[in-house]
Amino acid sequence: MKKLILSAVIIVLGTLFTNAEAAIVKKSVLNVENVQDDYKEIKADALPAEVKATLEKSFPNSKLVKAYVNGKKQYKLELNSGEDSPKHYVFTDAKGVIAEKY
């Protein structure tokens, strides 16, 4: 009878301590890259007529906030569709052809 009680105590204590393992620590690694493009801010008046026409045709409800140009005459345009919507960027070339990114 003593062996039965002793066996039960050992089993109960064994199950209690198996859950007391060391916590697994996960390290998250975040790589941040600063993308520095060569775009310089310009006035909206300096945009080519083709770029302005593309904006009016493709984004009729958007407002041009800022315009940028790089050395290859590629344009980065910051647009805002309204007060609640976030700003977004559109990339075009000098002929007004829209691209995902230059």
In the prediction, which pLDDT does 78 show?
A: 93
CB 76 within 8 A of CB 91: yes
**What pLDDT is attached to residue 22?**
64
User: Which CATH number fits the domain that encloses residue 27?
Assistant: 3.40.1420
pLDDT, residue 20, reads 56
Residue 36: domain span: 2-99
Residue 93: per-residue pLDDT:
93
- The count of structural domains within the chain is 1
Q: How confident is the model at residue 4, as a pLDDT?
A: 75
At residue 24, the pLDDT reads 75
Q: Which residues of the chain have pLDDT under 50?
A: none
- The per-residue pLDDT for 69 is 94
Per-residue H/E/C for the chain = CHHHHHHHHHHHHHHHHHCCCCCCCCCCCCCCCCCCCCCEEECHHHCCHHHHHHHHHHCCCCEEEEEEECCCCCEEEEEECCCCCCCEEEEECCCCCEECCC
Q: What's the confidence (pLDDT) of residue 31?
A: 73
pTM of the predicted model as reported, rounded to 2 decimal places? 0.60
pLDDT value for 21: 60
